[in-house]
Structure 1
């Protein structure tokens, strides 16, 4: 597995899903941090190293996924962190609405729950590595 600039951040309020994703991704060799709500997610985004990618559930307590995306969009440094939305509801949106939402909030991809593990790893590698390469290209 290629090295990422930081850990993956799983933002999921369902403990079973969160722990299953974390266990699977750690077995794949990734460093993983977890948050159970949007407020915790934003706290992780302020730590170093910053996550390489966020796996974001949208229906969260305290602060939902949409508010996390809105906050991320308003902060240039956070806006660089790719987001993959894990949500049955948003994955069910019609393709046009999903594309508009993705463009508006700079969302890399949508995955429907339950997540297919191989597809998840492919998307992580595609988007987190692209981000790491872009950051490496812009650093002094």
Structure 2
């Protein structure tokens, strides 16, 4: 079992990325951020794997659907749980997601999923 407290936030909105990063770091998580799916894939290749990916759908360069398809084909990434964080949660049927959080995010729900996917060390 992967026993880390590392989360990757993939969202093109810098305000959302920073707010989530600050909140999760305050809660004891190590956080990395990416502005689109392509940046996220690059980070996943060079850094230790997170226990959870928070994934927005509507992003430039590589959107959430494209990222999820690429991640599913990579054995080193495919086992990492994805939680979709989007205003468009009704459009995620083709993404194998551990959870769906509608924006604006409910932080209590977010922490429940984070604690479930990232058990204490």
TM-score normalised by L of structure 2: 0.89
Tell me if structure 1 keeps the 8 A contact 2:9–2:32. Answer: yes
Is the 1:73–1:105 Cα contact (8 Å) retained in structure 2?
no
1:119 to 109, 112, 118: 109
Cα deviation code 1:47-87 (max 9, x no counterpart): 23111110000001110000000001111221110000001
Q: Which has the higher relative contact order, 1 or 2, with Cα contacts under 8 A spaced 6 or more apart? A: 2
Specify the alignment match of 1:108 in structure 2. Answer: 98
Residue 21 in structure 1 maps to residue 11 in structure 2:
no
Superposed displacement of residue 112, structure 1: 0.3
Q: Give the secondary-structure state (helix, strand or coil) at the position aligned to 1:118.
A: helix
Secondary structure, counterpart of 1:70 in structure 2: helix
Looking at structure 1, the residues matched to 114 and 5 of structure 2 have their Cα atoms a distance apart, in angstroms, of 12
**Which protein shows a greater Rg?**
1
Report the counterpart of residue 137 of structure 1 in structure 2: none
**Equivalent residue, structure 2, for 1:63:** 62
Gaps of 5+ in 2: none
Between Structure 1 and Structure 2, which shows a larger proportion of helix residues? 1
State the superposition RMSD in angstroms: 2.1
